[in-house]
Amino acid sequence: MVARYQVEFEQTFQAARPLVWAIVADTNRWDRAAGLAVPVYEWIKEGGKNLRLARATELGIALEWIEPPYRWIEGRHVEGERRFRTGPVEGGGFEVTLEDVPGGTRAKAVAWVTTNWAVGFIQKMKFRSGLKAYFEGIQDLIGQSSKLGGVSANKIEPAITQAQRILLRSYSRLASGPRSLVDEVAMGTRLKQLSSHANAEVMTRLLDHVRTRADDDLGTMKPFELAKLWGLPKQDVLRTFLYATEAGVTDLCWQVNCPTCRVGANVAPHLRDLKDMQHCGACEIDYTIDFARHVEAVFPVNRAIRVVEPKLYCASSPAFLPHVFAQLRTEARGQSDHDIDVPLGEVLVRTIWSKFAQDLVLTENPARIEIHVGETMDVRTEGKAEEGKPTRVVLFNNTDDEVAVLMERTSWSSDAVLGTVITSMPEFSTLFATEAPALGVELRVGQIALLFSDLTGSTALYERVGDAKAFAIVEQHFRLMEEVVGRHGGGVVKTMGDAVMASFPSLSLAVEAGLEMVEVHDAAMSELNLTVKIGAHVGPCLCVRANERLDYFGTTVNVAARLQAQAGPSEVVITESAMQDPAVARVIEGTTHTLFDARLKGIHAEQHLVALKRTRS
């Protein structure tokens, strides 16, 4: 006889609700801790909806189920469901609710399954032991967090990502997962190949991380996230990862993140393996890759050091979508009411299946938000919430089918090493010179700053001092330029004759580097009648393979080169509109500005330009 078999568990934790939520929400971690089987997921169409289909074997029985989008409200509630299509189980799921109590947070958990008596009896015992282990693990992590920093509800950063750093400071098999063996012989051999340029402190932290962390923590290491964890400069950590990759301790891979859900849709071992188009099964969209926004450098541990096999136990976990603070579902023609702690700032409300979206900018917490979903979506805000009170969010489904709605903070982004950031580093250009897109593939770059410099007076120098000596002086010039570019977070893309092309993450860094190039070069070579002139520009372009190296081309490249041609000796030329960038305005304080108009080759309209020179004391 088929019936519902259920286990309930309740416990009060001496911790604030944001921390308890951050741990509870990592359902992938807890499905593993509960001993559930590892599913294999795929996306299917059912009833016009894009849904996850999962397959796994439990107790020797082959199971197949649909996993609809989980429901959750950050800090308050998470609920998951499995709708089985094969096997003796009809349905199953879990629900965890959190509430404030004196001195802490009460968590109430329910796990249930609908099946026959024999399977139900076994599953009840499994649920009971799993929930007990689940709450013991939460208690253990809460105890550790009190020593390791805790979680704040007042930060822009989601509680989940704050808690993940706590997890990376400690290890327990229950919470962290299995830890494969380290091949110390291979490690020792590769450390001998490590460049002396690697930062010693960062390398010590990295090696300890590789030796002690769980497999799940080493599959896609993210340097900027680890820099925040270790309290070290981001560029130093990223630079050391590049040297560690050259030595074979880590590998460099390229993760393509979906612009809608922000989840990694694909990981490629080399840039040449990336295509210009990518598909996201979760969002059911095809999108053109933006190398500056969608491509992230991640670093798995090299398999000669440790063979790690991270496993996906729960693809629907809120931990994979930390920017989503609420995911709601409502039945056809239904209404659901929710208390939600809505963050201030930019908020996006969107549906999963009908693909409606509406932006909100919240300067104060509304008393009420109504979301009406029908042939279109309309989101309305009303009043102001009382201090310390949540917002009442009411979802009205005016359709004949179930709807799923997400509410997400768009003003927060993770600490990702984006494609143009890493490729602008001098170490990348030196150590990974041949890492470039496949021949014929053009990766769009939404925003990158480019600088062109040119040496003036070199022809006369060759005539004056002879070829050999002049060549050595020009090589010294290139070294000076490369050193300055590197100090400002940029990387040399290529040299052309006496010219240098470099890329930077921002125009302010490019301009700052250009001004220092002039200053350093004048100090070193003015007596030789050698000067440098520079142009810098920011905008979109294309990332390509040229001469077996990474290169850029497009209008932004052409404009930057033409600006350099407009510069006089010891000048940096930018467009007048670039001065409106607050970061650029700060950099050029104390410089002399000469405004002028010019026609740039290949550009139709006349351009308003400004020549910058450092004021000499």
- Give per-residue pLDDT as tens, 378-407: 999 999 999 889 999 999 999 999 999 999
Assign 120 a pLDDT band (cuts: 50, 70, 90): confident
Q: What is the mean pLDDT of residues 38-43?
A: 94
Kindly state the tokens that stand for 456: 């003036």
For the chain, what is the total number of helices (H) and then of strands (E)?
16, 29
Kindly state the tokens that stand for 379: 């989101």
Residue 541 lies in a domain: yes
Q: Cβ-count burial of 94 within 10 angstroms (0-12 exposed, 13-18 middle, 19+ buried)?
A: buried
**Of the residues 173, 195, 215, the one at which a domain ends:** 173
- Domain identity same for 161 and 259: no
Residue 261 lies in a domain: yes
pLDDT at 355: 87
- Domain identity same for 496 and 387: no
Residue 456 belongs to domain spanning: 432-614
Beta pairing, strands 499-504 & 277-280 = unpaired
For residue 545, the domain's CATH number is 3.30.70.1230
Kindly state the percentage of the chain with pLDDT values over 90.
58
Q: Is 123 helix (H, G, I), strand (E, B) or coil?
A: helix
Residue 415 lies in a domain: no
- Domain identity same for 378 and 512: no
DSSP 576: G
Q: How many domains does the chain have?
A: 4
Residue 532 lies in a domain: yes
pLDDT at 150: 65
pLDDT at 125: 86
Tell me the CA end-to-end span of the chain in Å, nearest whole number: 92
Assign 22 a pLDDT band (cuts: 50, 70, 90): confident
Residue 250, CA distances (Å) to 215, 224, 312 in order: 14, 15, 22
* Tens digits of residue pLDDT in 207-266: 999 999 999 999 999 999 999 889 999 989 999 999 999 999 999 999 999 988 888 878
pLDDT at 173: 67
* Tens digits of residue pLDDT in 343-360: 999 999 999 998 899 999
Q: Cβ-count burial of 577 within 10 angstroms (0-12 exposed, 13-18 middle, 19+ buried)?
A: exposed
- Domain identity same for 267 and 236: yes
- Domain identity same for 156 and 247: no
Residue 158 lies in a domain: yes
Kindly state the tokens that stand for 555: 């209008």
pLDDT at 484: 92
Q: Is the pLDDT of residue 51 over 60?
A: yes
Residues 6+ apart with CB under 8 A from 389: none
Q: Is the pLDDT of residue 171 over 80?
A: no
- Domain identity same for 461 and 594: yes
* Cβ neighbours around 100 below 10 Å, total: 12
* Tens digits of residue pLDDT in 362-376: 999 999 999 999 999
- Domain identity same for 260 and 336: no
Q: Please state, in angstroms and rounded to a whole number, the distance separating the CA atoms of residues 518 and 534.
A: 8
Q: Is the pLDDT of residue 617 over 60?
A: no
Single-letter residue type at 421: V
* Tens digits of residue pLDDT in 572-582: 999 999 999 99
Q: Please state, in angstroms and rounded to a whole number, the distance separating the CA atoms of residues 362 and 417.
A: 29
pLDDT at 616: 62
**Of the residues 106, 141, 173, the one at which a domain ends:** 173
- Domain identity same for 359 and 402: yes
Q: Please state, in angstroms and rounded to a whole number, the distance separating the CA atoms of residues 105 and 18.
A: 9
Assign 168 a pLDDT band (cuts: 50, 70, 90): confident
Kindly state the tokens that stand for 243: 């040297």
For residue 69, the domain's CATH number is 3.30.530.20
The answer to whether 350 and 406 have CB atoms below 8 angstroms apart is: yes
- Domain identity same for 590 and 454: yes
Q: Please state, in angstroms and rounded to a whole number, the distance separating the CA atoms of residues 403 and 349.
A: 13
Q: Is the pLDDT of residue 145 over 80?
A: no
Q: Is the pLDDT of residue 206 over 70?
A: yes
Kindly state the percentage of the chain with pLDDT values over 70.
97
Residue 476 lies in a domain: yes
- Domain identity same for 285 and 348: no
Q: Is the pLDDT of residue 299 over 60?
A: yes
The answer to whether 470 and 461 have CB atoms below 8 angstroms apart is: yes
- Domain identity same for 219 and 79: no
DSSP 221: B
Residue 360 lies in a domain: yes
Residue 140 lies in a domain: yes
- Domain identity same for 194 and 166: no
Residues paired with residue 256 on neighbouring β-strands, in sequence order: 266, 295
Q: What is the mean pLDDT of the chain?
A: 90
**Of the residues 150, 173, 196, the one at which a domain ends:** 173
Is the CA virtual torsion 110, 116, 118, 119 positive or negative?
A: negative
Q: Is the pLDDT of residue 146 over 70?
A: no
Q: Please state, in angstroms and rounded to a whole number, the distance separating the CA atoms of residues 265 and 258.
A: 6
Report CA Rg, the chain. 28
